[in-house]
Amino acid sequence: MTRWMWGAVASALATVAAVGSATAQRSVTPPPVASTRATRTILFIGNSFTFGANSPVRNWRADTVTDLNGARYGGVPALFKAFTLQAGLDYQVSLEVQGGRTLGFHYEKRRRLFDRAWDVVVLQEYSTLDPDRPGDPRAYINDVARLSRLFARANPQVQIQLTATWSRADQVYRTPGGPWSNKPITLMALDLRAAADRARAVNPLVTGVLPVGQAWNRAFTTGVADPNPYDGVNYGQIDLWSFDQYHASTAGYYLEALVVFGRVTGLDPTTLGPGEQAADTLGLSREQASALQRIARDQLAAG
């Protein structure tokens, strides 16, 4: 055999060996492992405190959540969705909201939109409980019972969380004769928490209470947030209210969403870190994001 023929044979053998090696490597490489984590569904029912009125949060990333009324709100549900994505979780987030309305309104007028199975439901009542009788929890307790039964019929394992919201500065500092007028700014939030606890106590279908108002109180008492916006906001402190001293600012809604995220997922809100993406896009500093995450973590730990 000539030298040229030996070279051709050697080249052919080398080609066969290379192809065989590549084929063998492909055959032993394990396929990607498919995620076995099922998508969880969560529904937010509430009002302007849920959809983020008076702030950029209102329509923020509305395309990432499903507004059952078609109003294209993002709000706290969109913040929750952003947090879960960053945490590697899969939640399908929906909201059914109407400004200035009680839970009774949603049950009476809107339940056809949400009468189905959900994994988690977050219920947010009107800010003073009863618009006509501020502080009276009776209608709230009854409406929580009606909604809880509705959701449990569709999914007996549903987790129902009640949002106990924040003190309104206008009710404390600018509403003479009101139930919280000239009282400590922390009291209204504590009264709303007590009402939520009562609603949970008489409704065993309720899973828990989200201590949003108490997180605000913690932000006041630790110096993270200013407790009285009417006398100016102290340097270095956060204003949790919006311009009407009633609704929340971006920071206030951010803190609300952190509490929901921590309680529903069981994750420490501080794991989102100072570079958390929603805070960055909404104009909160890294220091503010970290401080609010710590407040949420500590309040959830305290209950």
38 token code pair: 């099922």
Angstrom distance (rounded) from CA 56 to CA 50: 13
Domain membership of residue 8 (yes or no) is no
Domain membership of residue 145 (yes or no) is yes
- How many CB atoms within 10 Å of residue 56? 14
Q: What is the residue type of 170?
A: D
Domain membership of residue 158 (yes or no) is yes
State how far the alpha carbon of 33 is from the alpha carbons of 23, 39, 91, 141, in Å. Answer: 21, 17, 20, 46
Name the residue range of residue 242's domain.
40-302
Domain membership of residue 109 (yes or no) is yes
pLDDT of res. 212: 99
Say if residue 23's pLDDT is above 60: no
Angstrom distance (rounded) from CA 110 to CA 269: 32
pLDDT of res. 154: 98
State how far the alpha carbon of 106 is from the alpha carbons of 91, 125, 152, 234, 277, in Å. Answer: 23, 10, 17, 39, 32
Domain membership of residue 256 (yes or no) is yes
Q: Give residue 27's pLDDT band: very low, low, confident or very high (50, 70, 90).
A: very low
pLDDT tens digits for range 41-84: 999 999 999 999 999 999 999 999 999 999 999 999 999 999 99
Report how far Cα 278 is from the mean position of its chain's Cα atoms: 12
pLDDT of res. 2: 40
Domain membership of residue 16 (yes or no) is no
Residue 255 per-residue DSSP state: H
Short-list 89, 92, 158, 84, CA closest to 121: 158
Short-list 241, 297, 292, 279, CA closest to 49: 241
Angstrom distance (rounded) from CA 297 to CA 247: 23
pLDDT tens digits for range 127-160: 999 999 999 999 999 999 999 999 999 999 999 9
Residue 171: which CATH number?
3.40.50.1110
Q: Give residue 38's pLDDT band: very low, low, confident or very high (50, 70, 90).
A: confident
pLDDT tens digits for range 86-110: 999 999 999 999 999 999 999 999 9
Domain membership of residue 234 (yes or no) is yes
Question: What is the number of domains present in the chain?
Answer: 1
Do the beta carbons of residue 151 and residue 107 sit within 8 Å?
A: no
State residue 87 phi and psi, 5-degree precision: -90, 0
pLDDT tens digits for range 156-205: 999 999 999 999 999 999 999 999 999 999 999 999 999 999 999 999 99
Element (DSSP H or E) covering residue 67: strand 66-67
Q: Give residue 37's pLDDT band: very low, low, confident or very high (50, 70, 90).
A: low
Short-list 153, 155, 123, 124, CA closest to 40: 155
pLDDT tens digits for range 200-257: 999 999 999 999 999 999 999 999 999 999 999 999 999 999 999 999 999 999 999 9
Q: Which of 33 and 86 is assigned the larger pLDDT? A: 86
pLDDT tens digits for range 271-301: 999 999 999 999 999 999 999 999 999 999 9
Angstrom distance (rounded) from CA 193 to CA 163: 8
Domain membership of residue 196 (yes or no) is yes
pLDDT of res. 177: 95
Say if residue 26's pLDDT is above 60: no
Angstrom distance (rounded) from CA 159 to CA 156: 9
